[in-house]
Structure 1
Amino acid sequence: MASGAKTHAERQLQGRPIRTRRHRPAVGTEVLALAHELRAPLSVIRGYLSLIADGSLGEVPARWELPVARLDEKARELARLIEDLLTAARLDSGRLSTDRERLDVREAVAGAVSRSAGRAELLGARLEVQLPERPVTVQADPSQVALILDNLVNNSLSYSAGPPWVLVRAEAQHRQAVIAVEDHGIGVRSHMRERIFERFVRADDEAIPGLPGSGLGLAIARELAEGNGGTLVLERSAAGAGSRFVVRFPLASDEMAHASG
């Protein structure tokens, strides 16, 4: 990200509230209050799990390693659920704004892959990344782009009947930054391809019953993408043949000039 004074256009993008889609289920105040209350004890649980895992509380017996890893994964799932609920509630109230800045999407992709690496290892997954040599710069809120990518990568890791394979790639294409998340998972049936972007709708499958989640992740990801001037679509998918989700953002003005030059 470049430093220095922001342009007038960049300043206009600071703190802009995200306009959410109307006529979709809202998160109730009771659920929001509960999510807030769960945050503190969960933070303590994750803190102690981290201390156990890194040996700060003494050497961890070999037989504890897998149980501790499983507990950490379940704590992360709960953390994602809480964050989804809180983000949805902020979108409902109009209190979630975008603080856009220059962002190299290569860094955003690398961060998402790094955050998912532990879970991928636990699942025996292949998590691959393809990035161009040149920067791919956009004007977007880094934390919201991170949430979009985390949701997509975690979905791809979850919706697989066998050891997952996930590829995350980024490129500049037709004056846009294009981020694709591909997998060889169970895929999405044709009648669900748009419905999975609705709140509290999940693409449950008999092959992997009982998957954790709220049904909020993809809905939130799409709203955040649109709030940052971009799009999120399921570009291709077929039952049993995997999926390809694609996020697009306009390139920053100087990147557009280079792309067209």
Structure 2
Amino acid sequence: MTLDRWLSRLPIDTPSPLMKQIPTVLGFVVALALTFVPGVVRVSLPPYILAAVIVVVVATIAAVVVPWNRLHPGWTVAVPVLSLLGIGLLRLGTGGSASPFVVLTLIPFVIIASEPGRRNIAIAALTTLVVLFAPLFVDNAPTTPGDVVRALFSPLIYLIVAMVVNELAHRMRTQLTAASAAAQEREELLQQAVRAQDELVLNEARLKTANRLISSIWNAVTEQSVIGTDLDGIIDVWNPGSEKMLGLTEQQVLTARRSVTDFYLPSELEDRLRDMDARFTTVASADSFSALVDTVRAGSADIRDWTYVRADGKHVPVQVAATPRLDENGHRIGFIFVATDMTQAREFARLKDEFVGLISHELRTPLSSILGYLELMRDDDESPLSEEQLQYLGVAERNAHRLLRLVGDLLFTAQVESGRFPIEIRDVELRSVVIASVETSTPVAANAGVTLRSDVPDEPVELRGDALRLGQAVDNLVSNAVKFTPSGGTVTVSLRREGDEAIVAVTDTGIGIPAVELSRLSQRFFRASTATRNAVPGVGLGLTITKAIITAHGGRLEIASEEGVGTSISLRLPVSTPEAVAEALPGAGATL
């Protein structure tokens, strides 16, 4: 073991009483050895030398065996005090005032003075005073004035030295504590830096792996268009799927700072703005973008059918999911539009519509025949049926009528999708249409425990349209409202005129519809999640038919709902522009 390594193991910063005692013992042993050399030191009183040895040995043993760590730190000064008294006895035995070993007092004196606390200054000075004054009382030699002056002046000097040593030791301890704290802090900072470096390397590796994964996924998304924009609709994200779907590269789009509305069909944006109660002769860019993100700004994702316009002018039917784009703090910094090409899906839907229309048309004839024969059986006077048979016949007839209505709805929706269904436009008094719908649904509402109210004006509300189709639209809304309202609820049907529009509003206190599903209510066969959870019967065609009828009359459908509170659906029909009615649905077979 080298000297440096040995010294590094010694508690130099906080030495024990034994460590402090070793210099004193070494000096005392050397002095004691000199007393045995003839002619070097005059031994005047051997008993005092023996007593000095005993005191120093006791002090050294105490430094070893006493558990100083269990005692108050101030008691450790007892060891150097005993040693200083032992040196005083050695001085008395080797000539008193003339002893050459007075210099040994400096070692325990400095140890006492350097201990923490100002009281140790007094202890060092008083103990040294005892050692220096003792020869004046023990020696038989006459005392000179010089001896008295030395005996008084030396303790004063020792007192001053004790003060200086104590202050220097105090400052050294303070600096040592600060240095130790700084070293410990540096060590902790170094360890933290090492850990941070390790975490940084690990995170960097994870980030590179994640970036490679994201890049691979991003480049693999070629069947969906993913477009990212800022808050104003300027495109800053353009994936390979967008390039494939719209015919422009990422560099072409980002360099030109294109707006996302540039790739939408303007007429669809205008229709959406009209649905939002915004009427414009020409649509500004900012307003067009609002048509895309109005629902998203309100806090909901928006899934809607649109038509993209490619760079070569071709139209691509798509379904677009618009969602907010957030930063690391959750603040909205833009929008994301994920579009799926619906060309094949639309073709499949067209074929399905043709099939549904064909099957529906073929089913109407046998169903009508079944109903005819059921009626003949019920009205046969020559072979009357029993009450039980009539009851069974009634069940069959009701279900046949229900099936015939369903077939009619399917056939109607197929005609709507193909762009051709018959309407007969003539003068219609809308007030009577609404009253008739309320009267038709009143028994059903009463059986369901729902209060059905009507609020119609006394004066007539006239317009041009198909009374049968308009009655069908109002019937659908009222029957839906009654069906989706629990027992004890209320359904209110109102009619009013605002400017050049007639408004039929059906409001209920039913189960409501989630906000994210409102935009899909007019899709065929779509049913709200609240209807599914509450097991409300239906196939999801009522609102599809209603919207088609209202659109054919140049009007529009407005829906407001809150889950658990209720739903309000309004039909807005024009009353002053009959020309728009015949032209509202291209290809509709209108009979004037």
**Normalising by the residue count of structure 1, what TM-score does the alignment of the two structures yield?**
0.72
Partner in structure 1 of residue 355 of structure 2:
30
Give the counterpart of 1:186 among 482, 489, 511.
511
Partner in structure 2 of residue 172 of structure 1:
497
Are the aligned partners of 1:179 and 1:248 in contact in 2 as well (CA < 8 Å)?
yes
The reply to whether residue 94 of structure 1 matches residue 419 of structure 2 is yes
Greater strand share, structure number: 1
Identity of aligned residues (%): 30
Question: Could you tell me how far 1:145 is from its partner in structure 2?
Answer: 0.8
Are the aligned partners of 2:493 and 2:505 in contact in 1 as well (CA < 8 Å)?
yes
The reply to whether residue 125 of structure 1 matches residue 447 of structure 2 is no
The reply to whether residue 237 of structure 1 matches residue 561 of structure 2 is yes
Q: Say if 1:121 and 1:216 are closer, same or farther in 2 by CA, change over 3 A.
A: same
Give the counterpart of 1:144 among 465, 469, 474.
469
Superimposed CA distance per residue, residues 133-183 of structure 1 (whole angstroms, 9 cap, x where no aligned partner): 111111111122112112111211222343553211111122211100111
The reply to whether residue 115 of structure 1 matches residue 440 of structure 2 is yes
Give me the whole-angstrom Cα distance separating, in 2, the residues matched to 1:173 and 1:140.
18
Superimposed CA distance per residue, residues 57-79 of structure 1 (whole angstroms, 9 cap, x where no aligned partner): 67857xx98x9887776555434
Partner in structure 2 of residue 209 of structure 1:
535
Give the counterpart of 2:479 among 129, 144, 154.
154
Are the aligned partners of 1:102 and 1:252 in contact in 2 as well (CA < 8 Å)?
no
Instruction: Identify the structure with bigger relative contact order (alpha carbons < 8 Å, sequence gap 6+).
Output: 1
1:33 counterpart letter in structure 2? L
Q: Say if 1:225 and 1:253 are closer, same or farther in 2 by CA, change over 3 A.
A: closer
Question: Could you tell me how far 1:117 is from its partner in structure 2?
Answer: 3.2
Are the aligned partners of 1:52 and 1:60 in contact in 2 as well (CA < 8 Å)?
no
Q: Say if 1:169 and 1:53 are closer, same or farther in 2 by CA, change over 3 A.
A: farther
Give the counterpart of 2:571 among 247, 252, 260.
247
Superimposed CA distance per residue, residues 31-68 of structure 1 (whole angstroms, 9 cap, x where no aligned partner): 223323433454466678889999x967857xx98x98
Matches within 5 A, 1:57-76: 75=400
Higher-Rg member (1/2): 2
Give me the whole-angstrom Cα distance separating, in 1, the residues matched to 2:464 and 2:563.
35
Greater helix share, structure number: 2
Superimposed CA distance per residue, residues 224-247 of structure 1 (whole angstroms, 9 cap, x where no aligned partner): 11110111110x211111111000
Q: Say if 1:227 and 1:130 are closer, same or farther in 2 by CA, change over 3 A.
A: same
1:81 counterpart letter in structure 2? L
Q: Secondary structure at the match of 1:193?
A: helix
Q: Say if 1:37 and 1:94 are closer, same or farther in 2 by CA, change over 3 A.
A: same
Q: Say if 1:99 and 1:189 are closer, same or farther in 2 by CA, change over 3 A.
A: same
Give me the whole-angstrom Cα distance separating, in 2, the residues matched to 1:182 and 1:70.
32
Which structure 2 residue ranges, 5 or more long, are not aligned?
Answer: 1-305, 308-316, 318-345, 579-592
Give me the whole-angstrom Cα distance separating, in 1, the residues matched to 2:448 and 2:395.
10
Q: Secondary structure at the match of 1:197?
A: coil
Are the aligned partners of 1:140 and 1:228 in contact in 2 as well (CA < 8 Å)?
yes
Which structure 1 residue ranges, 5 or more long, are not aligned?
Answer: 1-20, 255-261
Give me the whole-angstrom Cα distance separating, in 1, the residues matched to 2:564 and 2:399.
26
Superimposed CA distance per residue, residues 1-28 of structure 1 (whole angstroms, 9 cap, x where no aligned partner): xxxxxxxxxxxxxxxxxxxx99664453
Are the aligned partners of 1:123 and 1:164 in contact in 2 as well (CA < 8 Å)?
no
Q: Say if 1:212 and 1:73 are closer, same or farther in 2 by CA, change over 3 A.
A: farther
Partner in structure 2 of residue 223 of structure 1:
548
Partner in structure 1 of residue 87 of structure 2:
none
Are the aligned partners of 2:433 and 2:471 in contact in 1 as well (CA < 8 Å)?
yes
Greater mean alpha carbon deviation, residues 140-149 or residues 37-46: 37-46
Are the aligned partners of 1:148 and 1:224 in contact in 2 as well (CA < 8 Å)?
yes
Give the counterpart of 2:522 among 197, 216, 228.
197
Partner in structure 2 of residue 17 of structure 1:
none
Give me the whole-angstrom Cα distance separating, in 2, the residues matched to 1:68 and 1:164.
34
Q: Secondary structure at the match of 1:229?
A: coil
Are the aligned partners of 2:555 and 2:572 in contact in 1 as well (CA < 8 Å)?
yes
Q: Secondary structure at the match of 2:485?
A: coil
Partner in structure 2 of residue 16 of structure 1:
none
Q: Secondary structure at the match of 2:529?
A: coil
Give me the whole-angstrom Cα distance separating, in 2, the residues matched to 1:69 and 1:37.
24
